[in-house]
Amino acid sequence: MQTMRNPDQFNTWVAQLQTRTEQVLFSNMPSAELTPSTLHTAMRYAVLGGGKRIRALLTYATAEFFSVPTPQVDIAAAAVELIHAFSLVHDDMPCMDNDDLRRGKPATHKQFGDATALLVGDALQTLAFEWLASDRCVVPAAQKVQLLYTLAVATGSVGMAGGQSIDLESTNQQLSIAQLEQMHQYKTGALIRAAALLGAYSASQADAQKLRAIETYIRAIGLAFQVVDDILDAEADTATLGKTAGKDAAQNKSTYVSLIGLPAAKALAEDLYNRALSSLGSYGDEAYALRGLATLVTQRDS
């Protein structure tokens, strides 16, 4: 792996892999001309040309940690972004958060209607698994099963979908801290964990000690990600976020900000950042991108 020792080099790494993710998604997604054209146009609208691609970056960074060549995880990184994009399309629908703006443009259901948005989510979800199972994904078959299994569990009722369910039920309710943490770990942490594990499981033999380090790192990062999302919802503006600011309070959502307040939520994000860094201990350059991403996740402004 290339040695990276200053922030500029990390920023270059981020920019290159964001572009790479965009290209992999762009060239592998069904063309907008392919029938049914409306659905394919809407799928591309929901996925391409926006998003920080943090989950893909986590797959690439973890792959580097396990010395997996970058091309080997292109499809895994893109598949996680498909699941994430699907979750956003459904999250914004009127029956869920009812948000009009996503990634600086009208939410998919505003642009194409509710029924098409529903189908976009369905089709993006299955496309992710189709890609992993197909020849596009160049890891050996036995490992593919592990990738498929890991992503499926993270997406379902004890992962993202389950977390979204707890989110809906806990609106207008006061959760305990333990319940709130579980909600965050499910709705956001699970897919972020899967993003990292797909990078690890793409290695022909993942080192057990490194796997333990990644598990601790990613649990902290996954929770930190949603804590920061809650903080930004309360503090940032709509133009910077590219999505409607202040909606958690407006919709009386259970968040770290609503439960423990902004200063304690910020202290928690800092604590999780430190936990993530210390889990990487004395690893050297192979953990450089993971360290950079810990900073990016906790210190981002959108």
- List the x/- string, 39-78, binding to Mg ion by CB under 5 A: ----------------------------------------
The answer to whether 71 and 138 have CB atoms below 8 angstroms apart is: yes
- Residue choice 52, 110, 136, 275 for contact with ligand IPE (CB under 6 A): 52
Query: 52 touches which of Mg ion, ligand IPE, none (CB within 5 to 8 A by kind)?
Result: ligand IPE
Residue 83's H or E segment, with its range, is helix 74-91
Query: 243 touches which of ligand IPE, Mg ion, none (CB within 5 to 8 A by kind)?
Result: ligand IPE
Q: DSSP of 155-203, one letter per residue?
A: HSTTTHHHHHHHHHHHTTS---HHHHHHHHIIIIIHHHHHHHHHHHHTS
- Residue choice 108, 150, 155, 188 for contact with ligand IPE (CB under 6 A): 188
**CB of 210 vs Mg ion, minimal distance in Å:** 31
- Burial-class residue 130 by CB neighbours within 10 Å (0-12, 13-18, 19+): middle
* Cis check: omega of the bond before 30, within 30 degrees of 0: no
- Residue choice 41, 62, 87, 298 for contact with ligand IPE (CB under 6 A): 87
The answer to whether 129 and 98 have CB atoms below 8 angstroms apart is: no
Answer yes or no whether residue 74 interacts with ligand IPE by CB under 6 A: no
Q: Which residue is nearest to ligand IPE (CB)?
A: 51
What count of Cα atoms within 13 Å lies in the side-chain half-sphere of residue 284?
A: 5
Residue nearer to ligand IPE on the CB measure, 108 or 226: 226
Q: Which residue is nearest to Mg ion (CB)?
A: 97
Query: 254 touches which of Mg ion, ligand IPE, none (CB within 5 to 8 A by kind)?
Result: none
What phi and psi, each to the nearest 5 degrees, are found at residue 105?
-140, 170
The answer to whether 21 and 53 have CB atoms below 8 angstroms apart is: yes
- Residues binding ligand IPE (CB under 6 A): 51-52, 54, 84, 87-88, 91, 97, 99, 103, 160, 164, 187-188, 226, 229, 233, 243
